Structure 1
Amino acid sequence: MSTPWHIQRMAALDFEASDKDSETARIVSCALILVGGNLPTDTRTWLVNPGIPQEPGAIAVHKLTDEHLAEHGAPAEQAVPEIAKSVAEVVAGGVPLVGHNLGGYDLNLLDRECRRHLGDSLEGIVRQPLTRVIDTMVLDRQVAPYRKRVSEEQGPYQMRTTAETYGLPWNEEQAHGAEYDALMSARAAYKMGAIAHTPYRDRPDWVRALRTNRFNSLRGVTVEELHERQIEWYRRDAEGYQAWLRDAAKSKEKHDPEAVIPTAWPLRPVPAPRNGGDR
């Protein structure tokens, strides 16, 4: 029997960016951390000057000001190729990429930056389709669905909530830095895989108490099979959220009768240019 996916070598990837829209955002920091597999941890980080003003909301999260990035960050035209090359080496080596909302945001951010600075897509740069992606947000929504918000500020499946759900210590002072968040996503993936590969009677009480318990869907699969399952899980969740937004009775003040939630994962098609212009 092959080694279970959660104890294999992983490459944890996380970005901090200039805004929350992956179509327009620029990378301001990146961490790529090779962990697990009974090998030493290997950490690479980048601080990037995006060359454009950031959204104030983004700065409030990651605390990297425009002035700090201008003084200490590498120019984006230098950093993005370095990041893309490092990710390509990981993919070529068959090491899975792991991250929280990795296919929902980070990989699309990197894809758009590759197109912007290298004139090619992310998969074009790595010279193969991405088939070994582990997105802990997708996994968490699958195995422990219907979780409620922790508070007005803390959502049900954001990185902190996922970490705390699986018993990982959380340091809010270090959080929202690419290196910390990347490492926490790898630890969360390990925790989910460990629960899935534990006999039901020995799983934590909170897991056995779940109304809908799908941890077995992570058990006994290869990384490639897990990747394929996440494509379907992400599509299902996106369609469900779109239907909820379009239902006035359910979504109330968030109601949007024309809401369109992208269903592609881990990479979305590039939207058509607006008004015939380029992004």
Structure 2
Amino acid sequence: MSWTDGPLLGFDTETTGIDVDVDRIVTAALVRRDASGTHIRTWLIDPGVEIPAAASAIHGITTADARAHGAPPSVALEEIATEVAAAFWDGIPVVAFNACYDLTILDAELTRHGLATVPDRLGRPAAPVLDPLVLDRHADRYRRGKRKLVDLCGVYDVGTGSLHSADVDVVATLDVLTRLLERFPDLAELDLDTLHARQVTAHRAWAEEFNAWRTRQGMAGPRADTEWPTRTPAAAVPATV
């Protein structure tokens, strides 16, 4: 049996913004896919800060919604981290689109609330991770066009549903991964450790090339992180809840 037959654990978050060191998780989903089917668990979290209107417009959760119905962050984050770490312990790959965002913001939130990060729980880096964004860039490097999740759903003929809901995004990410591995079967033939290492190398090469291009263009602003699938978060802003 191949690892492609599962189990796989998909992970996604919706947040207050795009800065992993400052912003907070509002919703999260873990989706286990194995021989018995697809099993979804979701969380709504009160982030303890105002949710900007721009973020609410994307994921549909307002500050009032989160305050009225959201779980305390420390409770939800501990539950999420426990399941993610357990998957890694069991050798189950965690699948996340743009993994360095979701896994890093999870670790930043855990740090903010005085909880152990996923690598700290493992005593080693988080692995194995499968990231359809990194794999697509690596396998189809010269394809033109954007590579957001909705774009890859089009490339790999995956129905999108209502994207920007964490659980829907995870299911779409798992479906994209399945189609991607069908299109590039040489990736599926690699063992998970080798495939994880290949993504580390591929992401670093892409990030260095992207950053060099931005420099040549005279562009300011944040540079792409060269680390994947996660980096140690900066000192987290203290929690207010």
Fold shared by both chains (TM-score > 0.5): yes
Relative to 1, partners in 2 of residues 1:105 and 1:54: Cα closer, same or farther, differing over 3 Å? same
Secondary structure at 1:190's aligned position in 2?
A: helix
* Pairwise CA distance, 1:219: 4.3
Query: Deviation per CA, 1:34-66, whole angstroms, max 9, x where unpaired?
Result: 103x22322211110101012322111101111
Counterpart of 1:140? 136
The Cα offsets for residues 78-136 of structure 1, whole Å up to 9 and x where unpaired, read as 2111111121222222110001111x200001010111113432211244421210011
Q: What are structure 2's unaligned runs of at least 5 residues?
A: none
Q: Which residue of 2 aligns with 1:95?
A: 92
Matched, 1:110 2:98: no
Which ranges of structure 1 fall in alignment gaps of 5 or more residues? 150-155, 198-215, 249-254
RMSD across aligned C-alpha pairs, in angstroms? 2.0
Counterpart Cα distance in 2 of 1:32 and 1:278: 26
The yes-or-no answer on 1:21 pairing with 2:9 is no
Q: Does structure 2 conserve the Cα–Cα contact (< 8 Å) formed by 1:246 and 1:259? A: no
* Contact preservation (8 Å) 2:45, 2:72: yes
Q: Which amino acid aligns with 1:165?
A: V
How many residue pairs are counted as aligned between the two chains?
239
Q: Which has the higher Rg, Structure 1 or Structure 2?
A: 1
Matches of 1:259 and 1:42, distance apart in 2: 36
Give, in whole Å, the separation in 2 of the partners of 1:59 and 1:66. 8
1:1-279 pair list within 5 angstroms: 3-36=1-34, 38-102=35-99, 104-149=100-145, 156-171=146-161, 174-197=162-185, 216=186, 218-248=187-217, 255-256=218-219, 260-271=223-234
User: Quick one: structure 1 residues 4 and 194, their matched pair in 2 at CA, closer, same or farther if it must change by over 3 Å?
Assistant: farther
CA shift for structure 1 position 257: 6.2
| Sequence identity percentage | 29
Higher relative contact order (CA 8 A, sep 6+): 2
